[in-house]
Amino acid sequence: MSAHVHVPKVNILVGVWASLIVLTILTTLISHVDLGAFNIVAALLIALVKASLVVWIFMGVRFTTSLTKLFVVAGIVWLGILILLTYSDYSSRHWTYHPQPWNKTKIPMFEK
């Protein structure tokens, strides 16, 4: 058999499976407690940990080449750009005055 094949150990795979199940139960339980704004943070953090476990162990990225790892990271970065730029547009729209018919427009710099 070729030297480049990494056969994962069964106990590691089952361990990841058990962790994923425990994290699913945990995130469901946490959602029943009102933590205010922290609810979404906790839910997304747990989802992130679960996704990382799947990528690193189940998808075997730990055994892949540096080039594949770079691609995976690049994918995450591009997803970050997609969400960050979209979100920064929508969340900053009310920072500037809304265009209105010119006779109703009040431009702050001309008010004083």
Partner 1 sequence: MADAVMPVAHEAISPEEEVYLKHHFATPGQQMDADTLGMWTFLITEVLFFGGMFASYAVYRNMYYGAFASTSRYMDVTLGAANTAVLICSSLTMAMSVRAAQLSKRAELIRYLILTMIFGAVFLGVKAFEYHSKYVEHLIPGLGFQYEQFPQYEHNAQILFFLYFAMTGMHAIHMIVGLGLLAWLVWGAYRNKFNSLYFSPVEMIGLYWHFVDIVWIFLFPLLYLIGDR
Minimum Å distance from CB 94 to partner 1?
11
Rounded to whole angstroms, the maximal C-alpha distance in the chain is 81
Handedness of CA 86, 90, 95, 99 (dihedral sign): positive
Q: Are 13 and 57 in contact (CB under 8 A)?
A: yes
Length of the chain: 112
Which residue lies nearer to partner 1 by CB, 40 or 105?
40
How far apart are the C-alpha atoms of 66 and 52, rounded to whole Å?
17
CB atoms within 10 A of CB 39: 14
Instruction: Report in angstroms how near the CB of residue 7 gets to partner 1 at its nearest.
Output: 5
Looking at the Cβ atoms of 65 and 105, the one nearer to partner 1 is 65
Binding site for partner 1 (CB under 8 A): 1-5, 7-8, 10, 13-14, 16-17, 20-21, 24-25, 27-28, 31-32, 39-40, 43-44, 46-47, 50-51, 54-55, 57-60, 63-68, 71-72, 74-76, 78-79, 82-83, 86-87, 90-91
